Amino acid sequence: MSNEPKSAAPTTEGTLANIVSHAKEYGFVFQSSEIYDGLAAVYDYGPNGVELKNNLKQLWWKAMTQLHQNVVGIDAAIFMHPLTWKASGHVDGFSDPMIDNLDSKKRYRADVLLEDKAAEYEKNGELARAETLLAEMGRLLTSEDLAGVKQLILDEKIVCPVSKTGNWTDVRQFNLMFSTQVGAVAEDSSQIYLRPETAQGIFVNFLNVQKSARQKVPFGIAQIGKAFRNEIVARQFIFRMREFEQMEMQFFVRPGTEGEWYETWKATRRRWHEALGLPAAKLRFHDHDKLAHYAKAAVDIEFEFPFGFKEIEGIHSRSDFDLTQHQTLSRKKQQYFDADINPETGKAYGNYVPFVVETSVGADRLFLATLCQAYQEETITEGEGEQQQTKTRTLLRLHPALAPIKAAIFPLVKKDGMPEKATDIFNSLRHDFRVIMEERDAIGKRYTRQDLIGTPFCIVVDGQTLEDDTVTVRHRDSREQTRMPISELRAYIGEAVSFSRIFEQLEG
């Protein structure tokens, strides 16, 4: 059975505006509280969006916990003891440098203004100039020289995109954590935070997990969950949200081996993005110019969005910073006893606080990258001879394993027993896959609807089906149709939509 395109159709990718409106129109992403004119930087996932997002999360979860015997999962609470955030450094240091334009009254992240300027240089081929600017910014931010950051913005003649003036305030630090109160009465209440990252839920459970899951270092703990940040600049759709979801894995290693593990996870995670359909040419590594307070080394995996290369995942070598901090503030030992023999001393490695290599990917940013990559407009020719016509079709070329709906079943007409046959097929597939049945409208229109949401297969029940129990299967990408017995559908679809296809590429 061929899955080759009939002809190489000219395709174009979408602009962000196309993608945002497609996401809304076809039930992927809605603005939160839209009837009240929305809430800035908060979004809801619609019926197709939640399926795509769940598939991405499942794929990540399985790639972590199912493919690796030494990675186990947890699901920690969003609220944590307030000292957690003191220990982690978030109370004192989790802030962004912000600057206001006095004319437009708009607030910006100073580092983002400078990064945008560097991106502009890069676009114009002035790579060295871009690099120098980023390095200088990194140096100033690391030394917390905020006056220097402002001066750099002035020297670079950066103006506010709204007022077009360079009339800036000083640069100030702005803490990104949301806080709230626990306790019924004001006097007894204490301030707690909505977690700004999921990682700390993993750190505070390090020993619980190590012991209960009988894990030996090196081992990892994976978690998917919501995180909250009061982002100053909320823009670019679901790229930067105030409530978002992270998929984080902390890998605990023997001190001294973190460099190797950092390289291993860097490569593993990049392969994973490629395996699910993000092309290698649109992915790149970007070493951090400014290291976070906990980091020994850090790199971003960036994807080329319609608005440029931007971070989708961070890989961080966090040393023993977090566990040591928790040990100090909780006064509970966070040590591991390593019984393996150190060949240099002939003795067991003994007690130590493990080092950590973290992989942290945003589910929403990954969703956006996947959607941007899948969205295509192509020019196709349909019909023969005089009937031939050229038109544009929009489709989502999602990996079948990620598609919200795996197959749509269409009775060709609403009579002659075809709907009943289609219902039988639906019932025989629904235990294994998310399938739908559609009877309304002409068949072409029904194909179009499925292309728009990325359904890889459309199964058509026609007159011949009633005679020989075969159906046509129409392929989304090639529009090719193949005839096959109903009895083979389950295996055929199962093969195409299985995560195994993706996992095989990780090993290959």
Q: Which residues bind ligand ATP (CB under 6 A)?
A: 197, 229, 231, 240-241, 244, 246, 311-314, 360-362, 364-365
Structure tokens at 401: 């394993």
Question: Is 295 in a helix, a strand, or coil?
Answer: coil
Question: In the complex with ligand ATP, which residue's Cβ is closer, 269 or 406?
Answer: 269
Q: Measured from the CB of residue 313, what is the shortest distance to ligand ATP in angstroms?
A: 5
Q: Measured from the CB of residue 53, what is the shortest distance to ligand ATP in angstroms?
A: 12
Residue ranges with strand state E in 195-269: 219-228, 243-253
d(Cα 366, Cα 303) in Å, to the nearest integer? 9
Residue (of 420, 419, 409) closest to 493 by Cα position? 409
Question: In the complex with ligand ATP, which residue's Cβ is closer, 313 or 322?
Answer: 313
d(Cα 261, Cα 357) in Å, to the nearest integer? 7
Task: Determine the residue type at 241.
Answer: M
Question: In the complex with ligand ATP, which residue's Cβ is closer, 117 or 474?
Answer: 117
d(Cα 418, Cα 48) in Å, to the nearest integer? 27
Q: Measured from the CB of residue 243, what is the shortest distance to ligand ATP in angstroms?
A: 8
Are residues 27 and 48 in contact, defined by beta-carbon separation less than 8 angstroms?
A: yes
Going across the sheet that includes 172-175, the strands are 107-109, 95-100, 172-175
Question: In the complex with ligand ATP, which residue's Cβ is closer, 116 or 377?
Answer: 116
Q: Measured from the CB of residue 19, what is the shortest distance to ligand ATP in angstroms?
A: 16
Task: Determine the residue type at 3.
Answer: N
Question: In the complex with ligand ATP, which residue's Cβ is closer, 100 or 111?
Answer: 111
Q: Measured from the CB of residue 102, what is the shortest distance to ligand ATP in angstroms?
A: 25
Looking at 78-160, list the stretches that DSSP marks H as alpha helix, in order from N- to C-terminal side.
83-87, 90-93, 110-123, 127-142, 146-155
Q: Measured from the CB of residue 368, what is the shortest distance to ligand ATP in angstroms?
A: 9
Question: In the complex with ligand ATP, which residue's Cβ is closer, 213 or 295?
Answer: 295
Question: In the complex with ligand ATP, which residue's Cβ is closer, 240 or 479?
Answer: 240
DSSP state of 219: E
Are residues 456 and 399 in contact, defined by beta-carbon separation less than 8 angstroms?
A: no
Q: Measured from the CB of residue 161, what is the shortest distance to ligand ATP in angstroms?
A: 19
The residue nearest ligand ATP at its CB is 362
